[in-house]
Amino acid sequence: MDISPRQQGAIRARAHHASARTDFLDRIAPFFAGRDVIGGPLLLATLIALVCTNSPFRQDYERLWDMPLTIMLGDLSVRHSLAEWIDHALLPLFFIIIGTDVKRELVRGELSRWRTAAFPIAGAAGGMRSPCSSIC
């Protein structure tokens, strides 16, 4: 993952003004670089969720997810909590996108050759088998 010259300049400017944060910024900068920004926002959302869940603001954070959200179209309306909207609308969309990305990699990408695909396939199979072995 390459960092663009603009991002490198921003990192250098921050490092000049706050040298204590330089090491940390150098480590997380690749997560936010490139055209396909995936790791950075996901990492940031995870950290925010962990901090909010384990802070004095826990009750407010839980209330946020339980807040009702209604979509109306004429006389028709659908009302669910924010968490339910994510579960029923955004997660299926996420898995469709991931599925098409995996298929593209298996057909035309890095995983199209058996030697490069063997290890990720074994890891996925082990990940599916592991939870079942403790339950089944």
Q: Which alpha helices (DSSP H) does the chain contain, by range?
A: 5-17, 22-28, 39-53, 58-66, 82-85, 91-107, 114-135
Q: pTM score, two decimals?
A: 0.52
pLDDT at residue 134 greater than cutoff 60: no
Q: Which tokens belong to 37?
A: 């920004």
SS3 71: strand
Give the residue-averaged pLDDT of 99-104.
84
Query: For 49-72, what is each residue's pLDDT tens digit?
Result: 999 999 998 999 999 999 999 999
Are the C-beta atoms of 45 and 51 separated by less than 8 Å? no
- At position 102, the amino acid (one-letter code) is V
pLDDT of residue 16: 64
Place of tokens 């996901």: 42
Query: For 75-95, what is each residue's pLDDT tens digit?
Result: 999 999 999 998 988 888 888
Distance from C-alpha of 46 to C-alpha of 50, rounded to nearest angstrom? 6
Q: Which tokens belong to 3?
A: 């960092």
- At position 82, the amino acid (one-letter code) is L
**Buried/exposed 72-81: b ≥16 CB within 10 Å, e otherwise:** eeeeeeeeee
41-55, 87-101, 118-132: which range is least confident on average?
118-132
Distance from C-alpha of 82 to C-alpha of 67, rounded to nearest angstrom? 6
SS3 73: strand
Percentage of the chain lying above the pLDDT 90 cut = 25
Q: Please report which confidence band the pLDDT of residue 31 belongs to, taking 50, 70 and 90 as the band edges.
A: low
pLDDT at residue 35 greater than cutoff 60: no
Instruction: Provide the mean pLDDT of the chain.
Output: 80
SS3 108: coil
